[in-house]
Chain A
Amino acid sequence: MINQTWQFQNKFKSIIIRGGRVIDPANNFDGVADVLIVDGKIAAVEPDIKASADFEYNAAGKIVTPGLIDMHVHFREPGQESKEDFLSGSKAAVAGGFTTVATMPNTSPVVDNAALVRSMVNRAEDVGLINIKIIGAVTKGQNGQELAEMRDMIDAGAVAFSDDGHFDDNAKIFLNALDYLHDTGKIIICHEEETSLVKGGVMNEGKNSAILGLKGRPTVAEDIAVARDVLLAEYTGGKVHIAHISSKRAVEIVRDAKKRGINVTAEVTPQHLTMTDDLVNPSDASTKINPPLRTKKDCDACLAGLIDGTIDIIVTDHSPHAFEEKDREFIYAPSGFPGLETSIGVLFTELYHTGKIDLKTLISKMTCKPAQIFGLDSGTLSINSPADVTIIDPELVWTVDAKNFYTKGSHSPFIGRKFRGKVVATIVRGNLMKLNQ
């Protein structure tokens, strides 16, 4: 059993990462090289750098990438710190190789005004382990009825907007939001499940829900929502980003929309790429998420969409809950599970090692693509860019055990799974953090 604890503090003025396979999709680079970091910035990426540094990391046999970016996490601050907080979430991010995350605003209270955005930005700086970007709410209290003060939130540092957790049923308010943000270039991230069709539903509607007697959340609820938002993006010229896409038909709608030049982008999670509703066991709420785990044909469609560019980025939808909240009746347990610490393990094991996706495409979906879409200064190893770097051992075999999680979340359908591929070091703005080996 490998040691899965991390060392979080290592302030070196300069670092050389020697001999790794550097994959930097932003610069279309894939080859063995050294990476020199000085004063928190990338100073050089080339073979056999002669210079010395305060610390040398031997990355032979490892993969060196720009720091991973996750545009969809729930760090639960303010108000739900029993589920997660910025520190526990940041540690989980480091352990999963993520140097930048964006937090969703469905907290208590909802992050729907500039004062809260500013306080969360300050809180992120105080914790300081990783870069935490703040996503603001589209509507006040995420109530879907009244626009939140989004321009004020942009000034306070909000990176995007979302009423994630549910669909904004009121089409007029959503259209207004797109119009109102149009000149700012900011994106609305949309949770796509038409409310009346998923009310009371706890898993995918299909043969498994029919047999188990659990109420279903049909794919058509997602398809309708995606279709509406694509049409509103076309009509307004606004920017829509489809959160955690999971249905085959929804992928087709996005593909078609992109062909027609509509401003739409999309994300998918490792779980929706690799797991189906065959895994749902109503005596264990670990698999309960929204949108729910679908079927093999939906997973396959998501993967095809990821590879052909219909789906732009991979996110975790890291959604931790307290043990006692998930340790109960399936229909009463909240939806979501933590994903930061398992993401690379799942993706390498299920997609890379099986030959379903090449590394450059995979890494681009977690680095330069989200950076480009959301206007971040990271996601690249370009000279002088911030020294956010992730080092992955593609062959390291490990078993997922909640005891090793840094997140406060305890339930995950990946627990007990054996993965091949693990993040072994994460560098944020030049701060090297690494697995104790």
Chain B
Amino acid sequence: MLGKSIIAMESFSAEEIRLVLDTAYKMKQVVRRGSDKKLSNLRGKSIVNLFYEPSTRTRTSFELAGKYLGADVVSINSGTSSIVKGESLRDTLRTIEAMGVDAIVMRHKAEGAADFASRVVKPVIINAGDGAHAHPSQALLDLFTIEQHKGRLAGLKVAIVGDILHSRVARSDVYAMTKVGIEVHLAGPKTLLPRFFAFDGVTIHEQLEDAIKNADVINVLRIQLERQQAGLFPSTREYAQVFGINDERLSLAKDDVLILHPGPQNKGLEISSEVTYCDRSAIQEQVQNGVAVRMALLDLTLNGGAK
């Protein structure tokens, strides 16, 4: 994977997914060390985090991932850069490229922005989320978390529930999970489901209960409050009643069901506090796995994964 840009899960082979997960297991050992987490794999490499959208966990975990691997990492926030002066995406990317950067980790509101970047400049582009299109590192950390808990991926039943329509996580999960033999069930109010979404290995449900019945994993997506203003559902109250994940609904899934959420959560809306903090929830662990998976991605693309 040396030199490869990470744009979307579409372009990953099952073998490449395996390689990322295997590397992430090693990286997780490093993250969990009590002291001296610094490796030298990427010493002398430089990485720029270019974030056009707010982010806590993705940006911080990419930043730490780069630093744990020994790279120099700079984070650019669109609000305090030349972007507010109207600089085009092409010119911002070319400016960063000219400074001798090896990789650009990019988060952007526009679908296709990371792909555009990979066509325009030479450094490795890592897509940290482009609009509703893709968020590949999230999908890989979801797989990693599931495999750690279940010991396997193929044959599992995963329900992804909530705002599928606007979710880059759901789209990347669908590609990643179907490639490794997971059976995917999507559910949400019909207003938040993409029309004409046809995908082998994926079933769409308009009733939540049908999706989570006997599920091995439930991935709960964030509901953005502006979706209510756009008329997609009448109230947060009704959403929570009909589509929120709570203890009662959880009983429909398998006893050892694993709960995931990409964060940030709206507690009491798409997920209840009891569920978030219960022993079947891996939401906190996802964050740590995120650092490990992103270390794996950076190491594989910038260093070829060699020790």
Contact = CB atoms under 8 A, between A and B. Distances in A.
A219 to B, nearest CB: 11
Interface string A175-216: 000000000000000000000000000000111011111101
Nearest to B174: A211
B197 A207 contact: yes
B116 interface: yes
A327 interface: yes
Main secondary structure of the interface of B (DSSP, over half): loop
A205 B119 contact: no
Given A282-B133, A283-B119, A210 B110 contact: no
B215 to A, nearest CB: 23
Interface in A311-355: 324, 327-332
A329 B89 contact: yes
B222 interface: no
B81 to A, nearest CB: 16
Given A282-B111, A283-B116, A327-B88, A213 B197 contact: no
Interface residues of B, number: 26
A281 to B, nearest CB: 7
B115 A211 contact: no
Given A324-B88, A328-B90, A282 B196 contact: no
A330 B117 CA distance: 12
A329 B112 contact: yes
Contacts of B196: 205-207, 209-210
Contacts of A328: 88-90, 116
Given A213-B171, A283-B112, A283-B115, A207 B198 contact: yes
A210 B133 contact: no
B294 interface: no
A53 B108 CA distance: 64
Contact of A214 (B108, B111, B195): B111
Contacts of A216: 195
A213 B131 contact: yes
Contacts of A205: 195-196
B227 to A, nearest CB: 13
Nearest to B193: A210
B132 interface: yes
A51 to B, nearest CB: 58
Given A328-B88, A329-B116, A210 B132 contact: no
A293 to B, nearest CB: 15
B194 A329 contact: no
A210 B194 contact: yes
A329 B109 CA distance: 9
Interface residues of A, number: 22
B67 to A, nearest CB: 29
B112 A330 contact: yes
Given A207-B197, A211-B197, A282-B133, A329 B110 contact: yes
Given A205-B195, A205-B196, A212-B133, A282 B115 contact: yes
Contacts of A284: 112, 116, 119
Contacts of B116: 283-284, 328-330
B139 interface: no
B126 interface: no
A206 B110 CA distance: 19
B89 A213 contact: no
B158 to A, nearest CB: 18
A214 B134 CA distance: 11
Nearest to B199: A211
Interface in B171-216: 171, 194-199
Interface centre among A206, A210, A284, A324 (most CB of B within 10 A): A210
Contacts of B195: 205, 210, 216, 218
Contact of A331 (B131, B171, B199): B131
Interface string B106-148: 0011111101101100000000000111100000000000000
Contacts of B131: 213-214, 331
Contacts of A327: 88, 90
Contact of B111 (A206, A324, A331): A331
B113 A213 contact: no
Interface centre among B88, B90, B116, B132 (most CB of A within 10 A): B116
Contacts of B118: 283
Interface in A244-291: 281-284
Nearest to B88: A328
A405 to B, nearest CB: 21
Contacts of B166: 213
A15 to B, nearest CB: 48
Interface centre among B166, B195, B198 (most CB of A within 10 A): B195
B261 interface: no
Interface centre among A206, A211, A216, A327 (most CB of B within 10 A): A211
A329 B197 CA distance: 24
Contacts of B111: 212-214, 282, 330-331
Nearest to B119: A283
A210 B198 CA distance: 9
Contacts of B108: 329
B285 to A, nearest CB: 27
Interface centre among A283, A324, A328 (most CB of B within 10 A): A283
A218 B195 CA distance: 10
B184 to A, nearest CB: 14
Interface in A298-320: none
B88 A213 contact: no
A3 B219 CA distance: 59
A327 B91 CA distance: 11
Contacts of B90: 327-328
A127 B157 CA distance: 68
Nearest to A330: B112
A295 to B, nearest CB: 10
B168 interface: yes
B113 A329 contact: yes
8 contacts: A207-B198, A210-B198, A213-B171, A214-B131, A282-B115, A284-B112, A330-B112, A331-B110
Given A214-B112, A282-B111, 11 more contacts: A205-B196, A210-B196, A211-B171, A213-B131, A213-B168, A281-B112, A282-B115, A327-B88, A327-B90, A328-B90, A328-B116
